[in-house]
Structure 1
Amino acid sequence: MLTVGVIGTGMIGQDHLRRITRVLAGATVTAVTDVDADLAKRVAEGLPGAVVHQTGEELIADPAVDAVVVCSWGPTHEQYVLAAIAAGKQVFCEKPLATTEEACRRIVAAEVAAGRRLVQVGYMRRYDAAYRALKAAIESGEIGNPLMMHCAHRNAGVPGFYEKESIITDTAVHEIDMVRWMFGEEISSARVLVPRKNRNGGDLQDPLLLILQTEGGALIDVELSVNIRYGYDIRGEVVGEDGTASLGSQSPVVVRGGGRVASPVPLDWRERFARAYDVELQEWIDSVASGGSPTGPSTWDGYAAAVVSDAAVEALRSGSLVAVSLMERPALYEVVA
């Protein structure tokens, strides 16, 4: 049985705690911590035998913790991931891996020095059944060589602390990682087009159109709308030489009545990707429980997503096409996972 310590007991942390203790197999939670000590104590009351630690570093050092799940505020991720690597413990880190390219580079260097993969980054779309089916359709050759992809990432709304560039760094980063995985290529450039503003968006520049190009020349456009009110709507269509493949409808039912056809739309990301989160963590548990290395998104994937995200932010500010420059990929990460 894998013993897990969770750093960060806010919304996503509590969701993962519920998942590990009630949904998944092969792991148990033995320790928690949060910057809000009272919150950590309240959460621990529902976890028999779990110890509350004052800091993430204390939790990582706990001999009763085999592996670590990091769900804390983004700027703290680097320190906890580096501490886990130093302790030789597997760590699942919710995105982002870190909030700067320099921090991601430090994590890459630490893991390479350790000589084996210890880190997995929480890009859950790779575990979604619809995205996996879309990737399989591409790899089958049925639509020929993939040339373009049209994506939409629509949120009904975003929280008050959402900043102007969060539409790239917090929202579009999911498509950035997904595109690298879907096409099996790195992204070489980014450009952002700015249409007229949504009246629901307040001070945000919303929506945006993000245009990415891969090293192999494929083009991807991503519509980003984060105050569209009607629901959480994720779309994707790949255009190939001989046909197209797109994500299927995520609604389990279509209702016809009163002269209308209606299909429910998910309210938020938790509803749309609930099963993907389950599969993601279960596969991580299975891969590391026997002493192996994680097979999901790697430190390199977290680094690459951060660099592309930075380029997209620069493109948003400048209005220009911005090239993506990645460091040489270490042998530890020979392929895009």
Structure 2
Amino acid sequence: MSLGVGVIGAGIMGADHARIIREETADAHLVGVADADLARAERAAAGARAVTDGMALIGAGDVDAVIVASPDPTHAPLTLAAIAAGKPVLCEKPLAVTPEDCLRIAEAEAKAGRKLVHTGFMRRFDPAYGELKAAIDGGGLGPVRLLHCLHRNQYVPGWFQPQMAITNSFVHEIDVCRWLLGAEFVAATVIPSTSDAYDPLGDPLLIVLETDAGALVSTEVSMNAEYGYHVHAEAVCARGTVAMAEPARTLTRTDGARRSGYPVNWIPRFADAYRIQARAWVAAIGQGSVDAQAADVWDGAVATILAEQIVEALRTRRRVALELPPRPQ
């Protein structure tokens, strides 16, 4: 039986989610798209129902599951509504913009008595990250000592605030590195490369996280790299290293040089991950749960909770101890 999916939000992410459900996901079909801009909802729906009320879409009888890709402040109320309706929900990151709302969502799911929330950290489904994790978990390289990461955006708009380098971008590393290492973070240090007077973002940032297993995670977060969108990770282990290859699918040799391209944003870079994630989400719903590889409600909460504390490390320029509250049971 085909799963009826409603998508809330018809921006870049919502429109892509709608397309993937409509064109690339077996055992599911797009019921409708909700967006405050009806014309934009109609474009993303491509013949499916288009509405302006996300809550109404959640409550619709022919909607079995929901994807939340609307503006960040709406994630908490929409996800809570989906839980209350007993409908599985894939919520784009962040699960919520405050730790308090994340915990409310986790508590609501716990009270519901079943796993309903998949947080959309798609990197867990990216083939390159998957191979990196397989190499680490295989044990042949020994324990990880250092995990080096790059997160470079081509550019960000003028309204982008310094803390968003952490809460909007680096939050992906928080989640995927927890997953890669199977560890929790216990402390953070953030070092801006420039003074506030020169660049309000302090861009790029060097962020160092310490894990409870003794490994270090170093990440360069650059918001204005200019040349393109570039994400990379390399694990330095006791008996060797393993690194992701460049994501370009083709290599050009001409005029005495070898070239490969970088995408302008994350959509083409993680196209495979979004498609694999959607299929895994639909399949897990058929089994009455959340995919074991996915970021669940607690993973989504942890990412926001830690990001807020890492922002404090940026503000104070001091090493900050990281703490997590008890997980709702």
- Shift in alpha-carbon separation, 1:28–1:161, aligned structure 2, 3 A: farther
Percent of pairs identical after alignment?
A: 43
The question of 1:204 aligning with 2:201 is answered yes
Q: Distance in 1 between matches of 2:246 and 2:6?
A: 36
Structure 1 position 24, deviation (Å): 1.8
8 A contact 2:123–2:176 mirrored in 1: yes
Instruction: Report the equivalent of 2:12.
Output: 11
The question of 1:33 aligning with 2:34 is answered yes
SS in structure 1 of the partner of residue 295 of structure 2: coil
SS in structure 1 of the partner of residue 148 of structure 2: strand
Stretch deviating more after TM superposition (219-228 or 248-257): 248-257
Q: Distance in 1 between matches of 2:102 and 2:189?
A: 23
Q: Distance in 2 between matches of 1:257 and 1:318?
A: 49
Instruction: Report the equivalent of 1:124.
Output: 122
- Shift in alpha-carbon separation, 1:196–1:118, aligned structure 2, 3 A: same
Amino acid at match of 2:94: P
C-alpha distance after superposition, 1:157-193 (max 9, x if no partner) = 1133322211111110011101100010111111101
Q: Distance in 2 between matches of 1:326 and 1:169?
A: 17
SS in structure 1 of the partner of residue 63 of structure 2: coil
Structure 1 position 288, deviation (Å): 0.5
Structure 1 position 42, deviation (Å): 4.2
Instruction: Report the equivalent of 2:219.
Output: 222
C-alpha distance after superposition, 1:230-250 (max 9, x if no partner) = 111111110111111111121
SS in structure 2 of the partner of residue 126 of structure 1: helix
Instruction: Report the equivalent of 1:237.
Output: 234
Structure 1 position 60, deviation (Å): 0.9
- Shift in alpha-carbon separation, 1:290–1:178, aligned structure 2, 3 A: closer
Q: Distance in 2 between matches of 1:85 and 1:17?
A: 21
SS in structure 2 of the partner of residue 301 of structure 1: helix
Instruction: Report the equivalent of 1:266.
Output: 263
Q: Distance in 2 between matches of 1:42 and 1:194?
A: 41
Q: Distance in 1 between matches of 2:225 and 2:32?
A: 39
Instruction: Report the equivalent of 1:193.
Output: 191
Amino acid at match of 1:220: V
SS in structure 1 of the partner of residue 149 of structure 2: strand
Structure 2 gaps, min length 5: none
Instruction: Report the equivalent of 1:334.
Output: none
Amino acid at match of 2:253: R
Instruction: Report the equivalent of 2:112.
Output: 114
Instruction: Report the equivalent of 1:153.
Output: 151
Instruction: Report the equivalent of 2:88.
Output: 90
Amino acid at match of 2:160: Y
SS in structure 1 of the partner of residue 5 of structure 2: strand
Q: Distance in 2 between matches of 1:258 and 1:153?
A: 30
Amino acid at match of 1:15: D
Stretch deviating more after TM superposition (160-169 or 144-153): 160-169
Amino acid at match of 2:271: A
- Shift in alpha-carbon separation, 1:229–1:197, aligned structure 2, 3 A: farther
C-alpha distance after superposition, 1:54-88 (max 9, x if no partner) = 42221111111000000000011000000010111
C-alpha distance after superposition, 1:189-217 (max 9, x if no partner) = 11101112699x96422110011111111
Cα RMSD, aligned residues only: 1.8
- After TM superposition, the score normalised by the length of structure 1 is 0.93
Aligned pair count?
327
